[in-house]
Amino acid sequence: MVEPVDAIRAIHNAFRNDLEHIDAAALDSARGKEGLAATVERFRFFNEALVWHAHGEELAIFPVLENVAPLVAEAYVKDHRGLDAAFDELSKSYASHDPLTTARATAAFRFHLNIHLDKEDTHLYRIFTERVSLPEQGKAVGIMSSTVPQERFPEMVAWMFPLMGQDDRENMTRIWQMVMPAPAFAGAKELIKGAVGSDWAELTHRIPTL
Ligand SMILES: [Fe+2]
């Protein structure tokens, strides 16, 4: 049975996956390999999505958590500001056309992101699922998803779905199917179909109602 928090875990995995590729490309560039600019430059959209996500957590998840586990979320807000600083450092390094400092910046960003997401998955969201009722969890995740600007939603789907494994794609699709009004889900479905290409057959096999 899919739960609202599965959508958050799925997007966390997309973040990990994207930054791993960006960091690997930055390292190869620093070693002199050509043709990796497009992969390294994914850091721009990656960070836009990360900021929407962090704002969503701060708006919808952390206040709910504060009621059931005071002072826990505070440490995670500090982590988020650390991610902002990691992005600023990376942006600055990339703009100065310095492949070595760029690779150092992507490595630092990746390291901090991975620690942060692992803490959220195993600590913060564990408390959230154990102490917040399922309807409240659903409501919070719904508010959270509203932080993606509507006109950017197609880009978000095109970015996220190729980065996710089959289980995460299935979970995210099932959750959207449950929470979105039918016409909105019909639009999302087309975007997912475009994003996953030939894997669409696997998704419709897993979710026959698609
Ligand atoms: Fe977070």
DSSP string, 20-82: HHHHHHHHHHHTT--S-HHHHTHHHHHHHHHHHHHHHIIIIIHHHHHHHSTTHHHHHHHHHHH
> pTM (2 decimals)?
0.96
CA of 56 to the centre of ligand 1 (A): 9
pLDDT at 146: 86
CA of 200 to the centre of ligand 1 (A): 29
Are 144 and 61 contacting, i.e. CB atoms less than 8 angstroms apart?
yes
Can you tell me which residue has the tokens 């564990």?
Answer: 126
CA of 201 to the centre of ligand 1 (A): 32
Can you tell me which residue has the tokens 């928090």?
Answer: 5
Rounded to the nearest 5°, which phi and psi values hold at 9?
A: -60, -35
CATH architecture of 4-148: Up-down Bundle (1.20)
pLDDT digits (tens, 9 = 90+) for 118-128: 999 999 999 99
Say how many CA atoms lie within 13 Å of 172 toward its Cβ: 25
Query: What share of the chain has pLDDT > 70, as a percent?
Result: 100
Rounded Cα–Cα distance for residues 78 and 95 (Å): 26
User: Would you state the structure tokens that stand for residue 73, as one six-digit string?
Assistant: 């979320």
Please give the average per-residue pLDDT across 19-25, as a whole number.
98
CA of 172 to the centre of ligand 1 (A): 18
CA of 123 to the centre of ligand 1 (A): 11
Domains of the chain: which residue ranges? 4-148, 150-210
Rounded Cα–Cα distance for residues 83 and 87 (Å): 6
Cβ neighbours of residue 40 closer than 8 Å, sequence gap 6 or more: 22, 25, 26, 29, 94, 102, 106
pLDDT digits (tens, 9 = 90+) for 51-104: 999 999 999 999 999 999 999 999 999 999 999 999 999 999 999 999 999 999
CA of 21 to the centre of ligand 1 (A): 20
pLDDT digits (tens, 9 = 90+) for 133-170: 999 999 999 899 889 999 999 999 999 999 999 999 99
